[in-house]
Chains A and B, each alone.
Chain A
């Protein structure tokens, strides 16, 4: 075995901001702390400052107090949405199951659902977060990984890239026998305005697929064999949005280099946190 320590790493993208926001909400008393998680501290004799206590981390699934109060909702979600042939009860179960799996606060809403090579999945948003949720993967009813923070009322231009995720094939992770044989996949997802007619997603190995656009959102997924893991990256990942005439409306690379603010509050809703809104573009309402 090697004795080298693994290298120091940054938090995964978005997690620093997300944890900071969670802490801000907690310390500013803007939400009641849940009693779900981890009573952590017993007395530690050598550390005088650490007395017995309970650390409570996450909000209850039905609570919602946003870190940044958006006083104006530009528009509301449409009353009629594609339900993918699912019953209201099933949709509600998916919404609650996926949101609860990540202790997401706010009312969850399922915007997309599919059954594909890598198994059934759903895309669930609250007004401050989004999660891509596998249904039944590895025998787990609602299989999620790390919601992303979003400002759901606002779009950075014509579209957003809210989810960029992937799952190793189940045979790569031999320590988890339940996943044996499970396909790997990549997924990107986000929201679009009414001018977007087509979204393409090119994965790092160069394969390009069309996204499915439904309910003002898009999802593109690529399934891989169960022995898949991300290998050499031939090209950067790319998301491209087109209008109905085939004109390019934007790319993820352009989004990454631009910040956007909510016109009503001047809060930066896309891009580097802490940047002055004066240096950003106005976001557009979503839906």
Chain B
């Protein structure tokens, strides 16, 4: 361990050069945020674990093609995670995966004291996603990125490849459509 705490750009640069260690530090730094983002998109903690792993593996594969313009890698990772989730949900392979997942969706917890809470989370999130599912995809993902996971509009704009104003507009439209669910749209840091 070094005594310094390198920022994500430095770590990403090292990772792009092939440093698995630097990539591991990025994982340690952002795994929890990506994990929770994936959960909010899937309402399944088990799927969130798989998507977390897929997100970072994909990030590794794309490391040479991606240059971090922002200080934090998190907005980009969350965007990759959203794509991972979306494409997994579309994938024909999902059926195969579900064969394996039967055991996970029948909750067999690894720690009993957490399982009820996590089951409650999943039920609650499923209900929320039913509401949010009525939004267009771009509004839904902007809401998840900026409101639920606290990414700034500027960072979201950078990783989505659209203007900051467009991000604001998407989030604003999402919020106005979800007015009857105030807690939902005001949870998280809205910047």
Contacts and interface: CB of A to CB of B under 8 A. Distances in A.
Contacts, number: 197
For the residues of A in contact with B, the DSSP-based class is loop
Contacts of B24: 20, 23-24
B32 A3 contact: no
Contacts of A3: 128, 131, 181-184
Given A4-B124, A46-B138, A38 B108 contact: no
A204 interface: yes
For the residues of B in contact with A, the DSSP-based class is helix
Contacts of B28: 16, 20
A40 B54 contact: yes
Contacts of B138: 46
A168 B107 contact: yes
B148 interface: yes
B183 A5 contact: yes
Interface string B25-52: 0011001100110011000010001101
A23 B23 contact: yes
Q: Which of A12, A44, A53 has the most CB of B within 10 A?
A: A12
A181 interface: no
Interface residues of A, number: 65
A57 to B, nearest CB: 6
Q: How many B residues are at the interface, by size bracket?
A: 35 or more
Contacts of B39: 6, 9
Contacts of B154: none
Given A4-B183, A40-B88, A55-B57, A166 B124 contact: no
B103 A57 contact: no
B160 interface: yes
Interface string B69-105: 0000000100110011011101101100100101111
Contacts of B107: 167-168, 173
Interface of A: 1-16, 19-20, 22-24, 26-28, 37-42, 44, 46-51, 53, 55-57, 101, 103, 134, 138, 140, 143-146, 164-168, 173, 176, 178-179, 186, 204, 229-230, 233, 274
